[in-house]
Amino acid sequence: MAITAALVKELRDRTGLGMMECKKALVATDGDIEKAIDDMRKSGQAKAAKKASRTAAEGAVVTKISEDGKVAIILEVNSETDFSSRHDDFKSFCDKVAACVLANKESDVEKLKELEFEGGLTVEAARLALVQTIGENIQVRRASVVESADGIVGGYIHGVKIGVLVALSAGDADLAKDVAMHVAAANPQVVNSDQVDQTILDKEKEIFTAQAKDSGKPDEIIEKMVVGRIKKFLKEITLVDQPFIKDPDVTIGALVKKSSADVLSFTRYEVGEGIEVEVVDFAAEVAAQARGEA
């Protein structure tokens, strides 16, 4: 069967792959477009499995909030390079996966993979197709669902790298966004000081005590110094005690109290946090690609 330009274009439109790849697939199947798509999917799975071992520490954080502001989700999707995270297909994938997470209130990544994406495809099938299109390891890394039945949930995205959701007991979306913006910038560890793990406090006390003893001051003075430094440490890592970035004369706790609200929780995602990034020899990588090994 003759492989026409129209047939190649149709396959390209349906798969999003390059013209040459589409033509090769059609030649291999003697123009059977459905078989070509099946073969490409199988090939895509093989390629995705090969690429899955490569570190994906770039990407984007996406938030999506229900119309009533009671439920919101935050999602991190990783790619290998920052360039790919700006690809329109990558952005579209992130947005649609976020919609799936919100619609199903599903934060378990393994269960999320099996949710319907669109056109009968699962999220995992759509991910594999995206890997083939972009040519990089793409991973849905994590997701969280945040709710406030009687209050409001708001969010803030700094570029695409940092995303925050904040649940308040009262107030409005603007207040929640302001608090989320503060969390993005200040990166607090807890909402209230009583949430700090005792082991962390014990470790800090040990460090502060050792530092204070170097001063040569009496033990009773050292004890007061340590107590003061612990209090300062707690204020630095506790959201409600931190000075609001837009108005340092007001703490976050005082800010929300103006609206008779409390901060119930916050969730902060930063792209790639906690992922060990391998230092790559660029020249060796280019050589490997030239040999067809990557």
CATH code for 5-51? 1.10.8.10
> 18: left (phi > 0), else alpha (psi -120 to 50), else beta?
beta
Compute the average pLDDT of residues 101-105: 96
H or E element, residue 127:
helix 123-134
34 half-sphere exposure, CB direction, 13 A CA radius: 0
DSSP summary character for residue 239? G
Beta carbons within 8 Å of 8's beta carbon, 6+ residues apart? 19, 22, 23, 26
In the structure, what pLDDT confidence band is assigned to residue 290 with cuts at 50, 70 and 90? low
Q: Which of residues 287 and 269 earns the better pLDDT score?
A: 269
Question: Fold for domain 58-166+270-275?
Answer: Tetrahydropterin Synthase; Chain A (3.30.479)
Beta carbons within 8 Å of 166's beta carbon, 6+ residues apart? 153, 154, 155, 176, 179, 180, 183, 263, 265, 266
**CB contact burial 27-63 (16+ within 10 A = b; e otherwise):** eebeeebeebbeebbeebbebbeebeeeebbbbbbbb
Structure tokens at 207: 């460090």
Give the separation between CA 123 and CA 128, rounded to whole angstroms: 9
Q: Is it true that 5-51 and 58-166+270-275 share their CATH fold?
A: no
DSSP summary character for residue 190? B
pLDDT at 156 exceeding the cut of 80: yes
Give the separation between CA 141 and CA 107, rounded to whole angstroms: 10
Instruction: Name the residue ranges covered by the structural domains of the chain.
Output: 5-51, 58-166+270-275
Compute the average pLDDT of residues 79-108: 94
> 167: left (phi > 0), else alpha (psi -120 to 50), else beta?
beta
In the structure, what pLDDT confidence band is assigned to residue 50 with cuts at 50, 70 and 90? low
Beta carbons within 8 Å of 230's beta carbon, 6+ residues apart? 201, 204, 205, 208
Give per-residue pLDDT as tens, 223-262: 888 889 999 999 999 999 999 999 999 999 999 999 999 9
Which of 50-54, 55-59, 80-84 shows the lowest mean pLDDT across its residues?
Answer: 50-54
pLDDT at 13: 75
